[in-house]
Amino acid sequence: MDTPLRCLLVLGPTATGKTRLAVGLARRFNGEIISADSRQLYRGLDLGTGKDLDEYGEVPHHLIDVCAAGESCHLFRYLELARAALRDIAGRGRLPIVAGGTSLYLNALLDGYELAGGAPDESLREEWADKTDAELLDMLRREAPDLYERADKTQRRRILRALEIARTRETGAAPPILEIDALLLAPYYPRTEVHARIARRLDERLESGLIEEVAGLHAAGVSWEWLDELGLEYRHVSHFLRGETTRERMREELLAKIRRFAKSQDIWARKMEREGKTIHWLPEGDLEQAAELARRFLAGEPLPEPHLRLADTFYGPRSN
């Protein structure tokens, strides 16, 4: 496309009603929703990722349940699928609405990430499985000194990815770049209310079968290691199922981790604002305010300045 593709993008901390807001906007503006949640890509990860499929109703949605649990569904693959969905939806005369809380995915779409090298290569990873981190780093130093200097040397998966890029960047095809013009909308609640909402939602998920969901995934052949890598609900419930903690301690530790995750999403949003991106924060996810902003945006009318900038909001010294 010669001109940027116009879309709405709903972001914000976990448990603030992003799906509800996106669905409301989709119903008003003939829209379709593209998930930007790295874990909703996987089939069988339902309660722990908050897919809320019933909430979509008749609204079409994309990039949910596209990968099998246990496989690798990475940023390279996400961008390939998301950019294809954006083009498809817009090409049919409907409005793409990206919604989710995986900040890396949102920024990759907004900033037009161009990923060097090909997609992750399982055959290469099997070839290197018996090598130590030190041996892998030595290979990287010899084969790609530039990548060696930039690589995160503390995480094996980052070292492996750097080696893959070194082997494939001459021939690997990155997902085609798509420039987008997005209206950024985000539900806003004071941090104390976000914390309360997280606690209520966690207890609802535990009561609704979250523990059984994780147990079922493992019984179906998904490894504990893969579940642990997902973090948050899947990591902590896995620890409980393996007898490494009590249910009460699991719930308290998981609650603290989810609250820290929400804080990290706030930090990403602040960074986006400081980089010049405009985010319209909507008190309690006000649909009417969001719809009016969307109407103006789609009509090419000037938009008002945001009433609030998270970058200018001080929450105090509390760390969680």
Please state whether beta strands 279-283 and 180-188 pair in parallel, antiparallel, or not at all (unpaired): parallel
Q: Where are the domains of the chain?
A: 5-114+176-312, 122-168
Global confidence as pTM? 0.84
Q: Rounded to a whole number, what is the distance in angstroms from the first to the last CA of the chain? A: 43
User: What is the per-residue pLDDT across 264-314, written as a single tens digit (0 to 9) for each?
Assistant: 999 999 999 999 999 999 999 999 999 999 999 999 999 999 999 998 876
User: What is the per-residue pLDDT across 33-84, written as a single tens digit (0 to 9) for each?
Assistant: 999 999 999 999 999 999 989 999 999 999 999 999 999 888 888 999 999 9
User: What is the per-residue pLDDT across 155-165, written as a single tens digit (0 to 9) for each?
Assistant: 787 788 788 87
Q: Look at residues 182, 183, 188 and name the one whose alpha carbon lies nearest to residue 308.
A: 188
Q: What tokens were used for 36?
A: 């930007």
Specify whether the CB–CB gap between 38 and 213 falls below 8 A: no
CATH of 5-114+176-312, one of 3.40.190.10, 1.10.1660.10, 3.40.50.300, 1.10.10.10: 3.40.50.300
* CA atoms of 318 and 263, how far apart (whole Å): 11
